């Protein structure tokens, strides 16, 4: 059992690091291209694909190191370790990005959000606009964005691990 725990940690850390590098690298590319305020849809799609691929390959590596066996519990543990490692690193990058690299990012995002609100609902009163912007501003604090990044990583990591684990599971004989 000790080898399995060490294996979960080792594989989870390695694939989590790979996933974090892919996600942070994509964020840097989006920033360099000047698209960071637009939040392009394809960035989210690629991040999800990166996560799915890293978790699936992580589960394959665990299964290979585990004599070809993989329980659903092991799949969930491995996938969640991958997700938490990448989520922590990605959230740290986001925090550094919005506090050091691009300290005006939140202000710029609020301006873009307000412009989109006016465009989508030109009849919105000033009171409604102030209320909506107040809520938006609360969700754009660096610590809330850090927490939301972690929560999103864990949520999608769990879903991907669950589906991949159900497909890839191979219980030991007389076990499960």
What would the mean pLDDT of 5-21 be, rounded to a whole number? 90
- pLDDT tens for 38-48 read 888 999 999 99
- pLDDT tens for 65-97 read 998 999 999 999 999 999 999 999 999 999 999
Angle between helices 142-168 and 126-139 in degrees, nearest 10? 60
- pLDDT tens for 23-34 read 999 999 999 998
Across the chain, what does the average pLDDT equal? 89
CA-nearest of 55, 29, 59, 53 to 42 is 29
Is 137 a domain residue?
Answer: no
What would the mean pLDDT of 93-114 be, rounded to a whole number? 88
Is 117 a domain residue?
Answer: no
CA-nearest of 60, 25, 18, 69 to 43 is 25
Is 57 a domain residue?
Answer: yes
Is 131 a domain residue?
Answer: no
What would the mean pLDDT of 130-155 be, rounded to a whole number? 87
Q: How far is CA 70 from CA 84, 86, 159, in A?
A: 20, 22, 17
Is 14 a domain residue?
Answer: yes
pLDDT value of position 137: 82
How many domains is the chain partitioned into structurally? 1
pLDDT above 70 as % of the chain: 95
The CB density around residue 163, as the number of other CB atoms within 10 Å, is 15
Phi, psi of 169 (to 5 degrees): -60, 140
- Return d(Cα 108, Cα 8) in angstroms, integer: 41
Is 147 a domain residue?
Answer: yes
Where in the sequence is the domain holding 38, given as residue range(s)? 2-102+143-168
Radius of gyration of the chain (CA): 20
Is 86 a domain residue?
Answer: yes
Higher pLDDT, 1 or 85: 85
Is it the case that residue 109 has pLDDT exceeding 70? Answer: yes
Is 111 a domain residue?
Answer: no
């Amino acid at each position: 059992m000790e080898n399995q725990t060490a294996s979960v940690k080792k594989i989870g850390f390695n694939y989590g690091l790979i996933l974090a590098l892919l996600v942070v690298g994509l964020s840097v590319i989006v920033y360099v291209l000047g698209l960071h305020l637009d939040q392009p849809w394809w960035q989210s799609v690629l991040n999800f694909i990166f996560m799915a691929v890293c978790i699936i390959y992580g589960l394959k590596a665990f299964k290979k190191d585990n004599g070809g066996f993989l329980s659903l519990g092991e799949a969930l543990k491995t996938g969640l370790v991958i997700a938490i490692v990448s989520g922590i690193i990605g959230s740290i990058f986001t925090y550094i990005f919005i506090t050091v690299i691009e300290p005006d990012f939140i202000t710029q995002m609020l301006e873009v959000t307000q412009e989109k609100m006016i465009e989508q609902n030109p009849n919105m009163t000033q009171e409604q606009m102030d209320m909506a912007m107040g809520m938006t501003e609360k969700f754009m604090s660096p610590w809330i964005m850090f927490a939301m990044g972690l929560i999103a990583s864990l949520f999608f990591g769990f879903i991907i691990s669950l589906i991949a684990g159900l497909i890839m599971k191979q219980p030991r004989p007389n076990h499960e």
